[in-house]
Structure 1
Amino acid sequence: MSKLSELICQYCAHRNTGADSRCGHCGAPLRAVAHAVETVVEETPAKLAKVAKVAEKLGADAEKIVGGGYPRWQWRAVGVAILVLIVLAIVVARSCSVSLPSLSSLPGGMGMPEQITPEPLRSAAACQPLDSSGKSEKCVIAANHPMLFGGIAGGRELTFYAEHAQPDRLADAISRWRAAGGTTLVDGPVYVAIGPSATVWYADTRAGLKLETGTFAGKTGAQTFLSRAGLVR
Protein backbone atom coordinates (compact mmCIF):
# COMPACT_ATOMS: atom_id res chain seq x y z
CA MET A 1 0.00 0.00 0.00
CA SER A 2 1.53 3.35 -1.01
CA LYS A 3 1.97 6.27 1.32
CA LEU A 4 -0.28 8.38 -0.90
CA SER A 5 -3.21 5.97 -0.57
CA GLU A 6 -2.70 5.80 3.17
CA LEU A 7 -3.28 9.55 3.42
CA ILE A 8 -6.68 9.31 1.71
CA CYS A 9 -9.78 8.91 3.92
CA GLN A 10 -11.44 5.55 3.36
CA TYR A 11 -14.92 7.13 3.56
CA CYS A 12 -14.85 10.59 1.97
CA ALA A 13 -11.56 10.41 0.00
CA HIS A 14 -10.29 13.56 1.71
CA ARG A 15 -6.50 13.90 1.61
CA ASN A 16 -4.79 14.21 5.01
CA THR A 17 -1.26 14.72 6.28
CA GLY A 18 0.90 11.82 7.42
CA ALA A 19 0.62 12.90 11.06
CA ASP A 20 -3.19 12.57 11.11
CA SER A 21 -4.82 9.44 12.54
CA ARG A 22 -8.34 10.53 11.60
CA CYS A 23 -9.76 12.38 8.61
CA GLY A 24 -9.87 16.13 9.05
CA HIS A 25 -13.04 16.28 6.96
CA CYS A 26 -15.31 13.54 8.29
CA GLY A 27 -13.41 12.19 11.34
CA ALA A 28 -13.13 8.63 10.01
CA PRO A 29 -9.97 6.58 10.64
CA LEU A 30 -7.38 6.87 7.88
CA ARG A 31 -6.25 3.93 5.80
CA ALA A 32 -3.01 3.64 7.74
CA VAL A 33 -4.95 2.97 10.92
CA ALA A 34 -7.30 0.56 9.24
CA HIS A 35 -4.35 -1.20 7.65
CA ALA A 36 -2.78 -1.77 11.07
CA VAL A 37 -5.95 -3.44 12.31
CA GLU A 38 -6.16 -5.57 9.18
CA THR A 39 -2.55 -6.66 9.67
CA VAL A 40 -3.28 -7.90 13.18
CA VAL A 41 -6.30 -9.82 11.94
CA GLU A 42 -4.29 -11.33 9.08
CA GLU A 43 -1.41 -12.38 11.34
CA THR A 44 -3.61 -14.06 13.98
CA PRO A 45 -4.24 -17.32 12.02
CA ALA A 46 -0.50 -17.70 11.38
CA LYS A 47 0.27 -17.29 15.08
CA LEU A 48 -2.43 -19.80 15.97
CA ALA A 49 -0.92 -22.24 13.46
CA LYS A 50 2.47 -21.88 15.17
CA VAL A 51 0.86 -22.60 18.55
CA ALA A 52 -0.82 -25.67 17.08
CA LYS A 53 2.52 -26.96 15.75
CA VAL A 54 4.13 -26.50 19.15
CA ALA A 55 1.26 -28.34 20.82
CA GLU A 56 1.49 -31.18 18.28
CA LYS A 57 5.25 -31.51 18.89
CA LEU A 58 4.71 -31.61 22.66
CA GLY A 59 2.12 -34.33 22.17
CA ALA A 60 4.47 -36.31 19.94
CA ASP A 61 7.24 -36.06 22.50
CA ALA A 62 4.88 -37.24 25.23
CA GLU A 63 3.83 -40.17 23.04
CA LYS A 64 7.47 -41.21 22.56
CA ILE A 65 8.16 -41.07 26.29
CA VAL A 66 5.03 -42.91 27.44
CA GLY A 67 4.57 -45.17 24.45
CA GLY A 68 1.75 -45.85 22.00
CA GLY A 69 -1.66 -47.32 22.59
CA TYR A 70 -3.75 -44.13 22.41
CA PRO A 71 -5.23 -42.30 19.40
CA ARG A 72 -3.09 -39.46 17.99
CA TRP A 73 -5.77 -36.83 18.71
CA GLN A 74 -5.45 -37.63 22.41
CA TRP A 75 -1.71 -37.01 22.29
CA ARG A 76 -2.37 -33.70 20.54
CA ALA A 77 -4.76 -32.81 23.34
CA VAL A 78 -2.02 -33.64 25.82
CA GLY A 79 0.32 -31.31 23.95
CA VAL A 80 -2.23 -28.50 24.07
CA ALA A 81 -2.70 -29.04 27.80
CA ILE A 82 1.06 -28.94 28.39
CA LEU A 83 1.36 -25.73 26.36
CA VAL A 84 -1.49 -24.09 28.29
CA LEU A 85 0.17 -25.01 31.59
CA ILE A 86 3.47 -23.50 30.42
CA VAL A 87 1.77 -20.26 29.37
CA LEU A 88 -0.12 -20.05 32.65
CA ALA A 89 3.08 -20.61 34.62
CA ILE A 90 4.79 -17.74 32.74
CA VAL A 91 1.82 -15.42 33.32
CA VAL A 92 1.68 -16.23 37.03
CA ALA A 93 5.43 -15.77 37.43
CA ARG A 94 5.29 -12.33 35.84
CA SER A 95 2.16 -11.09 37.61
CA CYS A 96 2.90 -12.29 41.12
CA SER A 97 5.70 -11.18 43.38
CA VAL A 98 6.60 -12.24 46.88
CA SER A 99 7.01 -9.28 49.19
CA LEU A 100 9.57 -9.98 51.87
CA PRO A 101 9.10 -8.42 55.31
CA SER A 102 11.15 -5.33 55.96
CA LEU A 103 14.33 -5.91 57.95
CA SER A 104 13.02 -3.77 60.77
CA SER A 105 10.17 -6.23 61.35
CA LEU A 106 12.40 -9.31 61.64
CA PRO A 107 13.36 -10.74 65.04
CA GLY A 108 16.55 -9.37 66.50
CA GLY A 109 16.18 -5.91 64.99
CA MET A 110 18.02 -6.70 61.75
CA GLY A 111 18.77 -3.77 59.49
CA MET A 112 20.72 -0.54 59.37
CA PRO A 113 19.41 2.78 60.74
CA GLU A 114 17.96 3.81 57.38
CA GLN A 115 15.89 0.61 57.33
CA ILE A 116 14.50 0.81 60.85
CA THR A 117 13.93 4.54 61.24
CA PRO A 118 10.25 5.50 60.70
CA GLU A 119 9.66 6.81 57.18
CA PRO A 120 8.37 10.31 58.14
CA LEU A 121 11.58 10.97 60.07
CA ARG A 122 13.82 9.31 57.49
CA SER A 123 12.42 11.32 54.58
CA ALA A 124 12.77 14.60 56.51
CA ALA A 125 16.46 14.22 57.35
CA ALA A 126 19.80 14.18 55.58
CA CYS A 127 22.00 11.53 57.20
CA GLN A 128 25.61 10.43 57.05
CA PRO A 129 27.32 7.45 58.71
CA LEU A 130 29.48 8.01 61.76
CA ASP A 131 31.65 4.92 61.26
CA SER A 132 32.50 2.26 58.72
CA SER A 133 29.96 -0.20 60.15
CA GLY A 134 27.07 1.97 58.98
CA LYS A 135 25.17 1.26 62.20
CA SER A 136 25.39 4.81 63.54
CA GLU A 137 24.31 7.96 61.73
CA LYS A 138 24.21 11.69 62.28
CA CYS A 139 21.09 13.22 60.74
CA VAL A 140 20.03 16.82 60.24
CA ILE A 141 16.56 18.26 59.58
CA ALA A 142 16.63 21.69 57.93
CA ALA A 143 15.21 24.58 59.95
CA ASN A 144 12.54 25.31 57.30
CA HIS A 145 11.35 21.71 56.96
CA PRO A 146 7.64 21.12 57.75
CA MET A 147 8.70 18.62 60.40
CA LEU A 148 9.89 21.59 62.47
CA PHE A 149 6.99 23.90 61.56
CA GLY A 150 5.90 26.25 64.31
CA GLY A 151 9.40 26.87 65.61
CA ILE A 152 9.42 23.70 67.72
CA ALA A 153 13.22 23.62 67.43
CA GLY A 154 13.62 27.34 68.14
CA GLY A 155 13.99 28.21 64.44
CA ARG A 156 17.17 26.16 64.14
CA GLU A 157 17.97 22.95 62.27
CA LEU A 158 17.62 19.82 64.34
CA THR A 159 20.34 17.21 64.71
CA PHE A 160 19.62 13.68 65.86
CA TYR A 161 21.67 10.51 66.11
CA ALA A 162 20.29 7.14 65.00
CA GLU A 163 21.88 3.83 65.88
CA HIS A 164 21.12 0.19 65.24
CA ALA A 165 22.10 -1.03 68.71
CA GLN A 166 22.37 -4.42 70.33
CA PRO A 167 19.99 -5.23 73.23
CA ASP A 168 22.65 -4.62 75.90
CA ARG A 169 23.43 -1.14 74.52
CA LEU A 170 19.74 -0.30 74.41
CA ALA A 171 19.29 -1.45 78.02
CA ASP A 172 22.27 0.67 79.13
CA ALA A 173 20.90 3.72 77.33
CA ILE A 174 17.44 3.35 78.85
CA SER A 175 18.93 2.99 82.34
CA ARG A 176 21.04 6.11 81.78
CA TRP A 177 18.03 8.09 80.55
CA ARG A 178 15.93 7.05 83.53
CA ALA A 179 18.71 8.15 85.89
CA ALA A 180 18.98 11.54 84.17
CA GLY A 181 15.56 12.57 85.46
CA GLY A 182 13.71 13.06 82.20
CA THR A 183 9.96 12.79 81.63
CA THR A 184 9.05 9.26 80.55
CA LEU A 185 6.21 9.11 78.03
CA VAL A 186 6.30 5.41 77.06
CA ASP A 187 7.94 2.61 78.99
CA GLY A 188 7.87 -0.90 77.53
CA PRO A 189 9.37 -2.59 74.45
CA VAL A 190 9.52 1.01 73.16
CA TYR A 191 10.93 3.60 75.56
CA VAL A 192 10.27 7.29 74.91
CA ALA A 193 11.27 10.17 77.15
CA ILE A 194 11.94 13.90 77.04
CA GLY A 195 15.16 14.96 78.72
CA PRO A 196 15.53 17.87 81.17
CA SER A 197 16.85 20.10 78.36
CA ALA A 198 13.92 19.24 76.02
CA THR A 199 15.74 16.56 74.04
CA VAL A 200 14.05 13.39 72.79
CA TRP A 201 15.22 9.94 73.85
CA TYR A 202 13.83 6.98 71.95
CA ALA A 203 14.63 3.26 72.03
CA ASP A 204 12.81 0.43 70.25
CA THR A 205 14.09 -2.86 71.67
CA ARG A 206 12.19 -4.85 69.03
CA ALA A 207 13.80 -3.17 66.01
CA GLY A 208 17.05 -2.30 67.78
CA LEU A 209 16.67 1.43 67.09
CA LYS A 210 18.13 4.10 69.37
CA LEU A 211 17.55 7.82 68.78
CA GLU A 212 18.75 10.92 70.55
CA THR A 213 17.88 14.42 69.36
CA GLY A 214 19.16 17.91 69.92
CA THR A 215 17.33 20.50 71.99
CA PHE A 216 13.81 21.65 71.23
CA ALA A 217 12.23 24.97 72.17
CA GLY A 218 10.40 23.22 74.98
CA LYS A 219 8.68 20.04 76.11
CA THR A 220 5.63 20.73 73.93
CA GLY A 221 7.83 21.07 70.87
CA ALA A 222 9.52 17.76 71.67
CA GLN A 223 6.15 16.03 71.99
CA THR A 224 5.01 17.54 68.68
CA PHE A 225 8.16 16.23 67.01
CA LEU A 226 7.57 12.71 68.33
CA SER A 227 4.11 12.69 66.77
CA ARG A 228 5.17 14.17 63.42
CA ALA A 229 8.16 11.83 63.14
CA GLY A 230 6.00 8.73 63.60
CA LEU A 231 7.80 7.76 66.80
CA VAL A 232 4.63 7.80 68.90
CA ARG A 233 0.94 7.62 67.98
Structure 2
Amino acid sequence: MSRPPELICQYCAHRNTGTDSRCGHCGAPLRAVVHAVESVVEEAPAKLLKVAEKLGAEAEKVVTAGYPRWQWRALGVAILVMVVLGLVVARSCSIELPSFPGAMSEEVVPEPLRSAASCQRMDSAGQGEKCVIAANHPMLFGGIAGGRELTFYAERAQPDRLADSISRWRAAGGTALVDGPVYAAIGPSATVWYADTRVGLRLETGTFAGKAAAQTFLSRAGLVR
Protein backbone atom coordinates (compact mmCIF):
# COMPACT_ATOMS: atom_id res chain seq x y z
CA MET A 1 0.00 0.00 0.00
CA SER A 2 1.40 3.34 -0.96
CA ARG A 3 1.80 6.07 1.58
CA PRO A 4 -0.57 9.07 1.41
CA PRO A 5 1.13 11.93 -0.39
CA GLU A 6 0.88 14.03 2.78
CA LEU A 7 3.36 11.66 4.49
CA ILE A 8 5.91 11.76 1.71
CA CYS A 9 8.60 14.40 2.22
CA GLN A 10 8.43 17.04 -0.47
CA TYR A 11 12.20 17.54 -0.33
CA CYS A 12 13.78 14.09 -0.20
CA ALA A 13 10.72 11.87 -1.00
CA HIS A 14 11.28 9.85 2.18
CA ARG A 15 8.24 7.81 3.28
CA ASN A 16 7.21 8.61 6.86
CA THR A 17 4.72 7.21 9.33
CA GLY A 18 1.33 8.78 10.04
CA THR A 19 2.48 10.23 13.38
CA ASP A 20 5.42 12.16 11.95
CA SER A 21 5.18 15.93 11.49
CA ARG A 22 8.65 16.21 10.04
CA CYS A 23 10.60 14.03 7.68
CA GLY A 24 12.60 11.39 9.54
CA HIS A 25 15.30 11.54 6.90
CA CYS A 26 15.93 15.27 6.24
CA GLY A 27 13.83 17.01 8.94
CA ALA A 28 11.71 19.08 6.52
CA PRO A 29 8.06 19.72 7.40
CA LEU A 30 5.71 17.21 5.83
CA ARG A 31 3.16 18.27 3.25
CA ALA A 32 0.25 17.69 5.63
CA VAL A 33 1.67 20.20 8.14
CA VAL A 34 2.31 22.73 5.40
CA HIS A 35 -1.25 22.39 4.14
CA ALA A 36 -2.61 22.88 7.64
CA VAL A 37 -0.61 26.07 8.16
CA GLU A 38 -1.64 27.40 4.75
CA SER A 39 -5.30 26.78 5.47
CA VAL A 40 -5.07 28.65 8.78
CA VAL A 41 -3.36 31.61 7.12
CA GLU A 42 -5.91 31.70 4.33
CA GLU A 43 -8.88 31.54 6.69
CA ALA A 44 -7.56 34.09 9.25
CA PRO A 45 -8.56 37.33 7.40
CA ALA A 46 -12.09 36.15 6.82
CA LYS A 47 -12.48 35.15 10.47
CA LEU A 48 -11.04 38.43 11.72
CA LEU A 49 -13.40 40.34 9.41
CA LYS A 50 -16.38 38.48 10.83
CA VAL A 51 -15.25 39.24 14.39
CA ALA A 52 -14.80 42.92 13.52
CA GLU A 53 -18.26 43.08 11.95
CA LYS A 54 -19.81 41.56 15.05
CA LEU A 55 -17.99 43.98 17.35
CA GLY A 56 -19.06 46.92 15.18
CA ALA A 57 -22.67 45.82 15.25
CA GLU A 58 -22.60 45.45 19.01
CA ALA A 59 -21.01 48.88 19.44
CA GLU A 60 -23.66 50.45 17.23
CA LYS A 61 -26.39 48.84 19.31
CA VAL A 62 -24.88 50.24 22.51
CA VAL A 63 -24.52 53.74 21.08
CA THR A 64 -27.96 53.93 19.47
CA ALA A 65 -29.56 52.47 22.56
CA GLY A 66 -28.08 55.17 24.78
CA TYR A 67 -28.83 58.22 22.61
CA PRO A 68 -31.24 58.91 19.74
CA ARG A 69 -29.74 59.08 16.28
CA TRP A 70 -30.72 62.76 15.86
CA GLN A 71 -28.58 63.68 18.85
CA TRP A 72 -25.54 62.08 17.26
CA ARG A 73 -26.24 63.98 14.05
CA ALA A 74 -26.57 67.23 16.00
CA LEU A 75 -23.30 66.48 17.77
CA GLY A 76 -21.60 65.88 14.44
CA VAL A 77 -22.86 69.20 13.08
CA ALA A 78 -21.71 70.99 16.25
CA ILE A 79 -18.24 69.46 15.99
CA LEU A 80 -18.04 70.48 12.34
CA VAL A 81 -19.01 74.05 13.20
CA MET A 82 -16.41 74.15 15.97
CA VAL A 83 -13.72 72.90 13.59
CA VAL A 84 -14.61 75.54 11.00
CA LEU A 85 -14.64 78.29 13.62
CA GLY A 86 -11.30 77.06 14.95
CA LEU A 87 -9.79 77.24 11.49
CA VAL A 88 -11.18 80.75 10.95
CA VAL A 89 -9.82 81.94 14.30
CA ALA A 90 -6.45 80.33 13.70
CA ARG A 91 -6.23 81.94 10.28
CA SER A 92 -7.23 85.34 11.61
CA CYS A 93 -4.66 85.08 14.40
CA SER A 94 -1.95 84.01 12.00
CA ILE A 95 -2.60 86.97 9.71
CA GLU A 96 -0.31 89.76 10.65
CA LEU A 97 -2.31 92.89 11.35
CA PRO A 98 -1.21 95.93 9.38
CA SER A 99 1.13 98.04 11.42
CA PHE A 100 0.14 101.65 11.91
CA PRO A 101 3.01 103.96 11.04
CA GLY A 102 1.41 106.90 12.84
CA ALA A 103 3.24 109.21 15.21
CA MET A 104 1.79 107.66 18.35
CA SER A 105 3.56 104.34 17.87
CA GLU A 106 5.72 103.25 20.76
CA GLU A 107 8.92 103.68 18.79
CA VAL A 108 8.63 107.42 18.21
CA VAL A 109 6.60 109.05 20.99
CA PRO A 110 7.47 109.02 24.70
CA GLU A 111 5.10 106.95 26.80
CA PRO A 112 3.72 109.83 28.96
CA LEU A 113 2.41 111.68 25.91
CA ARG A 114 1.28 108.52 24.15
CA SER A 115 -0.82 107.38 27.12
CA ALA A 116 -2.30 110.84 27.76
CA ALA A 117 -3.66 111.44 24.26
CA SER A 118 -6.57 110.10 22.28
CA CYS A 119 -5.71 110.10 18.58
CA GLN A 120 -7.40 109.65 15.22
CA ARG A 121 -5.86 109.14 11.82
CA MET A 122 -5.99 112.09 9.46
CA ASP A 123 -5.38 110.13 6.25
CA SER A 124 -5.80 106.64 4.90
CA ALA A 125 -2.06 106.09 4.80
CA GLY A 126 -1.87 106.53 8.56
CA GLN A 127 1.02 108.98 8.42
CA GLY A 128 -0.70 111.73 10.40
CA GLU A 129 -2.85 111.89 13.53
CA LYS A 130 -4.95 114.45 15.30
CA CYS A 131 -4.63 113.96 19.05
CA VAL A 132 -6.48 115.41 22.00
CA ILE A 133 -5.58 115.53 25.68
CA ALA A 134 -8.58 116.05 27.97
CA ALA A 135 -8.67 119.30 29.96
CA ASN A 136 -8.71 117.45 33.30
CA HIS A 137 -5.79 115.14 32.45
CA PRO A 138 -2.79 115.40 34.81
CA MET A 139 -0.64 116.23 31.78
CA LEU A 140 -2.35 119.64 31.72
CA PHE A 141 -2.42 120.12 35.50
CA GLY A 142 -2.12 123.70 36.62
CA GLY A 143 -4.09 125.10 33.71
CA ILE A 144 -1.13 125.11 31.35
CA ALA A 145 -3.58 124.87 28.43
CA GLY A 146 -5.84 127.60 29.81
CA GLY A 147 -8.30 125.12 31.27
CA ARG A 148 -9.12 123.69 27.82
CA GLU A 149 -8.33 120.40 26.18
CA LEU A 150 -5.16 120.42 24.16
CA THR A 151 -5.05 119.45 20.52
CA PHE A 152 -1.84 118.55 18.76
CA TYR A 153 -0.96 117.08 15.39
CA ALA A 154 1.68 114.42 14.91
CA GLU A 155 2.98 112.69 11.83
CA ARG A 156 5.72 110.50 10.48
CA ALA A 157 7.61 112.57 7.91
CA GLN A 158 10.49 112.05 5.51
CA PRO A 159 13.82 113.77 6.31
CA ASP A 160 13.36 116.47 3.66
CA ARG A 161 9.91 117.36 5.00
CA LEU A 162 11.28 117.55 8.54
CA ALA A 163 14.11 119.80 7.38
CA ASP A 164 11.61 122.15 5.70
CA SER A 165 9.49 122.32 8.86
CA ILE A 166 12.49 123.10 11.06
CA SER A 167 13.62 125.82 8.65
CA ARG A 168 10.19 127.45 8.73
CA TRP A 169 10.04 127.28 12.52
CA ARG A 170 13.44 128.91 12.85
CA ALA A 171 12.40 131.67 10.44
CA ALA A 172 9.16 132.25 12.38
CA GLY A 173 11.09 133.55 15.38
CA GLY A 174 10.35 130.80 17.87
CA THR A 175 12.39 130.13 21.00
CA ALA A 176 14.43 126.97 20.43
CA LEU A 177 15.04 124.85 23.53
CA VAL A 178 16.84 122.06 21.66
CA ASP A 179 18.38 122.37 18.21
CA GLY A 180 20.08 119.33 16.78
CA PRO A 181 18.85 115.89 15.66
CA VAL A 182 15.91 116.78 17.93
CA TYR A 183 14.42 120.23 17.48
CA ALA A 184 12.04 121.64 20.11
CA ALA A 185 10.86 125.22 20.17
CA ILE A 186 8.09 127.42 21.54
CA GLY A 187 6.39 129.55 18.92
CA PRO A 188 5.49 133.24 19.31
CA SER A 189 1.88 132.32 20.22
CA ALA A 190 2.98 129.81 22.90
CA THR A 191 2.63 126.72 20.71
CA VAL A 192 5.07 123.80 20.73
CA TRP A 193 7.05 122.80 17.65
CA TYR A 194 8.85 119.49 17.84
CA ALA A 195 10.76 117.34 15.33
CA ASP A 196 12.90 114.25 15.83
CA THR A 197 14.91 113.54 12.70
CA ARG A 198 16.15 110.23 14.12
CA VAL A 199 12.71 108.63 13.98
CA GLY A 200 10.95 110.96 11.55
CA LEU A 201 8.48 112.47 14.01
CA ARG A 202 6.93 115.92 13.55
CA LEU A 203 4.64 117.36 16.23
CA GLU A 204 2.85 120.69 16.56
CA THR A 205 0.48 121.71 19.37
CA GLY A 206 -2.25 124.23 19.98
CA THR A 207 -1.80 127.29 22.17
CA PHE A 208 -0.72 127.12 25.81
CA ALA A 209 -1.33 129.66 28.54
CA GLY A 210 2.17 131.03 27.98
CA LYS A 211 5.72 130.11 27.08
CA ALA A 212 6.42 128.76 30.56
CA ALA A 213 3.33 126.54 30.30
CA ALA A 214 4.48 125.28 26.88
CA GLN A 215 7.89 124.45 28.31
CA THR A 216 6.23 122.61 31.19
CA PHE A 217 4.31 120.53 28.67
CA LEU A 218 7.47 119.61 26.79
CA SER A 219 9.00 118.37 30.02
CA ARG A 220 5.92 116.46 31.22
CA ALA A 221 5.44 114.84 27.82
CA GLY A 222 9.01 113.55 27.79
CA LEU A 223 9.86 115.46 24.63
CA VAL A 224 12.56 117.54 26.30
CA ARG A 225 14.59 116.36 29.26
TM range (shorter): 0.5 to 0.7
In 2: Cα distance, 1:122 partner to 1:228 partner: 12
Please list the CA deviations of residues 174-203 of structure 1 after superposition, one character each: whole Å capped at 9, or x if unmatched: 000001001011000000000000000000
Q: Give a deviation string over 1:124-181, Cα, whole Å, max 9, x none.
A: 0100000000010000000000000000000000000000000010000000000100
Structure 2 distance, partners of 1:130, 1:117, is: 17
C-alpha separation in 2, matches of 1:145 and 1:194? 22
The answer for the alignment partner of 2:104 in structure 1 is 114
Pick the structure with greater CA Rg.
2
With normalisation by structure 1, the TM-score equals 0.52
**CA separation in 2, counterparts of 1:200 and 1:149?**
17
The separation in 1 between residues aligned to 2:138 and 2:129, in whole angstroms, is 22
Find the aligned partners of 1:217 and 1:185 in 2 and give their Cα distance. 18
1:196 aligns to what SS in structure 2? Answer: coil
Within 5 Å, which residues of 2 pair with 1:92-107? none
Identity among equivalent positions (%) equals: 82
CA contact (8 A) 2:193 2:203 kept: yes
Amino acid at match of 2:172: A
Cα deviation digits, residues 2-39 of structure 1 (max 9, x gap): xxxxxxxxxxxxxxxxxxxxxxxxxxxxxxxxxxxxxx
* Residue 137 of structure 2 corresponds to residue 130 of structure 1: no
In the alignment, what sits opposite 1:177? Answer: 169
Instruction: With the length of structure 2 as denominator, give the TM-score of the two structures.
Output: 0.54
Q: Note the C-alpha offset of 1:119.
A: 1.0
Which of 145, 148, 152 aligns to 2:140? It is: 148
1:205 to partner: Cα distance: 0.1
Preserved CA contact (<8 Å) 2:191 2:205: yes
Aligned mates of 2:104, 2:208 — CA distance in 1? 23
AA matched with 1:166: Q
Tell me if structure 1 keeps the 8 A contact 2:185–2:192: yes
Task: State the shift of 1:118 in Å.
Answer: 1.3
1:139 aligns with 2:131: yes
**What RMSD in Å do the two structures reach over aligned CA positions?**
1.4
For 2:144 and 2:179, the matched residues in 1 are separated by: 24
Give SS of 1:223's match.
Answer: helix
Unaligned residue ranges in structure 1 (runs of 5+): 1-102, 104-109
Aligned length, in residue pairs: 125
Question: Which amino acid is the alignment partner of residue 171 of structure 1?
Answer: A
Q: Name structure 2 gaps, 5 residues minimum.
A: 1-98
The equivalent of 1:227 in structure 2 is 219
Which residue of 2 is the match for residue 68 of structure 1? none
Please give the secondary structure, in 1, of the residue aligned with 2:104. helix
Q: Tell me the secondary structure at the aligned position of residue 142 of structure 2.
A: coil
Structure 1 equivalent of residue 178 of structure 2 = 186
Q: Spell out the pairing of 1:1-233 with structure 2 (5 A cutoff).
A: 111-115=101-105, 116-233=108-225
* Structure 2 counterpart of 1:61: none
Between the aligned partners of 1:111 and 1:126, the Cα distance in structure 2 is 16
